Amino acid sequence: MTNTNTDKIIIQGIPAKFDPNELERRQQQHKFAYQQTQQCCEMVRGAIPQLFLQSVSDKIAAGYSFSKYPISMTPLNYSAHLVKPPAMQEVDIATINNEVRESYKAELEASHEDYKERLYAQLVQAEESKQAAKMQAAKDKVYADLKRQADQAYSPLVFPEA
């Protein structure tokens, strides 16, 4: 038993196009997430208070600032999240913007490829349908000719009236 797919392929709509507003929206969304999470911070740790405080002091001198996250003063596990200086954040945000741009580009390219593949499938299906219709028309013509030949081969039956 053969399984034939009789569903007609129909493409609706068009692939998404580059929209600078959409790219800007996505970049702003990721930038906001960066600024509101620990991504914009660096963890400073120390096993003893003096090492921890020296690390914090060095980071503060380098432009870091305290974050909204709590400082852990658990013995042998002192830690704090410090917000990176603006220059470092700009580098991180530039990297994030590039990643978002590449992701958006890949998404658009995938959408275009999907539409191309579906259009190809639709065109193949239409061509196969045309070829099948031509073959059926030719077959019908041959069968009609064969029927005519069979009809001509024998004369009509004569049966006397009683």
Question: Which residue ranges make up each domain of the chain?
Answer: 20-112
The answer on pLDDT for 162 being more than 90 is no
Mean pLDDT for the stretch of residues 89-115 = 96
- Say if residues 52 and 75 touch (Cβ distance below 8 Å): no
Contact (Cβ atoms closer than 8 angstroms) between residue 117 and residue 15: no
DSSP 87-130: HHHHHHHHHHHHHHHHHHHHHHHHHHHHHHHHHHHHHHHHHHHH
- Summarised one tens digit per residue, pLDDT across range 114-159 is 999 999 999 999 999 999 999 999 999 999 999 999 888 887 778 8
Residue % of the chain over a pLDDT of 70: 96
**Which residues does residue 78 pair with via DSSP β-bridges, in sequence order?**
46, 73
CB 128 within 8 A of CB 120: no
- The 10s digit of each residue's pLDDT in 2-20 is 455 568 888 888 888 999 9
Structure-block tokens of residue 147: 């029927």
Model confidence, pTM: 0.72
> What is the C-alpha separation between 94 and 99, in angstroms, rounded?
9
Which token pair is 40?
């914009």
Q: What is the mean pLDDT of residues 79-99?
A: 97
**pLDDT at res. 8:** 84
